[in-house]
Amino acid sequence: MTPVNLVLMGMGNVGRAFIHLVGEKSGLCRERYGLNLCLKAVLKTNGGFFAGRPLDPGDIAGLPASELAKHPAWKPGLHLDDVLKSVNPGVLVECTPTNLHTGQPGLSHITRALKKKWHVAAASKGALVVNFKGLNAFARKQGVSLKYSGAAAAALPTLDVGLFSLAGTEILRIEGILTGVTNYILTRMEESFSFQEALKEAQAKGIAEPDPSLDVDGWDSAAKILLIANSVAGMSFSLKDIRREGIRNVTPEDIQKAGKEGKSLKLLARFDRRKDEPKAEVCLTAIENTHPLFSVSGTNKGIVFFTDTMGQVTVTGGKSDPRGTAAALLKDIINIYRQEWSPCL
Amino acid sequence: MTPVNLVLMGMGNVGRAFIHLVGEKSGLCRERYGLNLCLKAVLKTNGGFFAGRPLDPGDIAGLPASELAKHPAWKPGLHLDDVLKSVNPGVLVECTPTNLHTGQPGLSHITRALKKKWHVAAASKGALVVNFKGLNAFARKQGVSLKYSGAAAAALPTLDVGLFSLAGTEILRIEGILTGVTNYILTRMEESFSFQEALKEAQAKGIAEPDPSLDVDGWDSAAKILLIANSVAGMSFSLKDIRREGIRNVTPEDIQKAGKEGKSLKLLARFDRRKDEPKAEVCLTAIENTHPLFSVSGTNKGIVFFTDTMGQVTVTGGKSDPRGTAAALLKDIINIYRQEWSPCL
């Protein structure tokens, strides 16, 4: 049995779902993968949970914000360095809010963890978008894994498929619907909602954030195609290299026009290496009903890889919710530690 | 640079495509993965190519059958054991014809290779269908990898997604269109061909075999769902446990009836673990246009995994031709040797 020490940064929806999932899946991880998940610490900006022995996930996941500080393991002002210096390396699980311009606070967390030879599984995108090559090179130098499925469409497998399932191919082109929120809004607009109505509904359902700009202005899709193209096709895109369009200005007329032509308006993230100059972009595109992403609707996501030897491989689905993202983090953690891919016998 | 010795069994369409691909991708394998592919021997039933130094793939891949024995490296009567005893272990690439009842000749090849601690990448299904647990346990005991993406829908990633991308989930249910030939015939029948006309066309195009029974009677789909369910869900199905239906008796009326209801008739391979007794079966099913496999037509394939934490993940596409199968073999070989999944920097 391999002990896997976990330190979680951030206790928003994804962080809480991850704590819950660790409790739910600890038996399965022991039995199927020989991994003993030990949640050693959970940190927020103003303090964190940390005790000598592993935390009980069930004990913490459901605590309302007002009760956190009353928990016996709560340490006000607890800092990540306090934890890293007294716990054997395991995996830092980065779930703080994404800032695509500074990369913080994830960038600082990930850098500190790599310095101490911790593996990293990230759901936040900022750090990797801001310093993709630097962080990957540093992780390699330190001999640890830096994984970020949780940041690259989460429960929809994108990086795994590109790096593992399509190993040995040349990935010539990628097209993806990578943001559940924008796809949900566009689907509702096809059902005759206005942009504002659809956005409000998405916010009321907790699908869209109170400040929806990261999603509706195409930043989220741009960040994801950056992570995917840089990872699976060896590109060096920065966010500024990616032409980006959002969905704020989509009118009911745009939707109807596409519909009349038998098409569906989607916010596509695209990468193309076939031209002289490889290009990544996010743009509104009316796609035909023969396009493999045509029927990806609502909060669903999808990605198409166009390869030289395996043809076209499309992946769709994967839950767009905190539990799905938590499951993507757990998948990365399991794959960091497992030595082989043999069947469950 | 890691040398990777390859011994290929079988020189049919897939074997030849594999030889060709080794030539085409040797540079990429060196640069991207640090692997030096060395094709050490190619064996047929009546002899094989084997020389002191690696074979030149370009030199052999295109040889017509009548010219094989004139090649300087051709050794009449060459046996696998002769090769295994004089070459350092690498990967045995099994591409002989599939026999689902005896598993031969693949079973003998794979067993001999594992005994000598060779890894195995198989495109033939027979051996694994006949002795799934035994071969996997033996490979594990020998400390080598036994991979068979090439036998489990090839360029459509099925095992990778189940074992790697969905690690940590419970796979509750699987539905797949796993045989390109039958899907092609059903698609043509939707375009008003009779079964016999569609079959003849498929044979003329080289899509269907002269004896098409492995495909049209559902054996191929049954073998694939067996391999997939046993691998990703820890099942112990034998071929006799799988209720199986073919497409020989499909009438134009059946196709029309489905069409009138807005449905499409597909040969679905299914696995369900949610009942008291896990079940795998292959059956003709009229699926709704909201089903994620509805638009999988022609020789395309697809698979849907229904999971507890990541929702529903669908993969479609992947070339159904010898080159796609060869690419799946190469993918397995790369993934046997690589130590990490970090991005191509």
User: What is the DSSP secondary-structure string of B290-315?
Assistant: TSTTTT--TT--EEEEEESSS-EEEE
Contact (CB<8Å) B234/A344: yes
Contact (CB<8Å) A341/B165: no
Q: Taking residues B11-20, report their average pLDDT.
A: 96
First to last CA, chain A: 17
In tens, the pLDDT along B94-143 reads 999 999 999 999 999 999 999 999 999 999 999 999 999 999 999 999 99
CATH domain A2-155+323-337 topology = Rossmann fold (3.40.50)
Residue limits of CATH 3.40.50.720 in chain A: 2-155+323-337
Rounded to 10°, the helix A322-337/A13-33 angle is 40
In tens, the pLDDT along B286-302 reads 999 999 999 999 999 99
Q: What is the pTM of this model?
A: 0.96
Sequence-ordered list of residues with C-beta below 8 angstroms from that of A133, at least 6 positions apart, any chain: A230, A236, B345
What is the reported pLDDT for A345? Answer: 44
- A vs B, Cβ pairs < 8 A, gives 199
Of B156, B165, B178, B151, nearest to B313 (Cα)? B165
Contacts of A34 in chain B (CB under 8 A): none
What is the reported pLDDT for B274? Answer: 75
Q: Shortest CB distance from B136 goes to which of A136, A294, A345?
A: A345
In tens, the pLDDT along A273-306 reads 976 899 999 999 999 999 999 999 999 999 999 9
Query: Which of B44, B125, B147, B224 is an active site residue?
Result: B224
Active site residue B224: yes
Contact (CB<8Å) A168/B319: no
Measured CA distances, A247 to A151, A174, A244, B321 (Å): 21, 20, 10, 40
Contacts of A340 in chain B (CB under 8 A): 145
Amino acid making up residue A33:
Y
Report which of residues A341 and A293 the model is more confident about: A293
Q: Taking residues A144-155, report their average pLDDT.
A: 96
The answer to whether B112 and B143 have CB atoms below 8 angstroms apart is no
Q: Is the pLDDT of residue A338 over 90?
A: no
At A186, phi and psi to the nearest 5? -65, -40
User: CA of A21 to nearest chain B CA: how many angstroms apart?
Assistant: 9
The pairing of strands A279-287 and A243-244 is parallel
Amino acid making up residue B123:
A
The answer to whether B284 and B217 have CB atoms below 8 angstroms apart is no
**In the block, which residue shows the tokens 């991308």?**
B165
Contacts of B151 in chain A (CB under 8 A): none
Measured CA distances, A155 to A116, A328, B45, B291, B305 (Å): 29, 5, 46, 19, 12
Contact (CB<8Å) A345/B163: no
Average pLDDT value for chain A? 95
User: CA of A72 to nearest chain B CA: how many angstroms apart?
Assistant: 30
In tens, the pLDDT along A68-116 reads 999 999 999 999 999 999 999 999 999 999 999 999 999 999 999 999 9
Chain A residue with minimum CA distance to B35 = A168
Residue limits of CATH 3.30.360.10 in chain B: 159-318
Contact (CB<8Å) A155/B313: yes
Chain B residue with minimum CA distance to A166 = B331
User: Which sign, positive or negative, has the C-alpha torsion A160, A166, A168, A172?
Assistant: negative
Report the share of chain A in percent with pLDDT over 70: 98
Q: Shortest CB distance from A342 goes to which of B136, B341, B344?
A: B136
Report the share of chain A in percent with pLDDT over 90: 95
What is the reported pLDDT for B340? Answer: 56
In tens, the pLDDT along B231-281 reads 999 999 999 999 999 999 999 999 999 999 999 999 999 999 976 899 999
What is the reported pLDDT for B306? Answer: 97
Q: Is the pLDDT of residue B343 over 60?
A: no
Contact (CB<8Å) B160/A155: no
| SS3 of residue B71 by DSSP | coil
Query: Which of A147, A224, A266, A301 is an active site residue?
Result: A224
Contact (CB<8Å) B21/A309: yes
Q: Taking residues B49-62, report their average pLDDT.
A: 92
User: CA of B79 to nearest chain A CA: how many angstroms apart?
Assistant: 29
Chain A residue with minimum CA distance to B154 = A310
User: CA of A323 to nearest chain B CA: how many angstroms apart?
Assistant: 7
CATH class of the B159-318 domain in this structure? alpha beta
Sequence-ordered list of residues with C-beta below 8 angstroms from that of B48, at least 6 positions apart, any chain: B41, B42, B74, B75, B78, B83
| SS3 of residue B69 by DSSP | helix
Q: Is the pLDDT of residue A341 over 60?
A: no
Chain B residue with minimum CA distance to A30 = B168
User: CA of B225 to nearest chain A CA: how many angstroms apart?
Assistant: 14
pLDDT band at A62 (very low <50, low <70, confident <90, very high): confident
Chain B residue with minimum CA distance to A231 = B343
Q: Shortest CB distance from A311 goes to which of B231, B309, B324?
A: B324
Helix/strand/coil (H, E, C) string of A100-114? CCCCCCHHHHHHHHH
Q: Is the pLDDT of residue A344 over 80?
A: no
Contact (CB<8Å) B155/A311: yes
User: CA of B81 to nearest chain A CA: how many angstroms apart?
Assistant: 26
Contact (CB<8Å) B168/A29: yes
Average pLDDT value for chain B? 95
In tens, the pLDDT along A131-148 reads 999 999 999 999 999 999
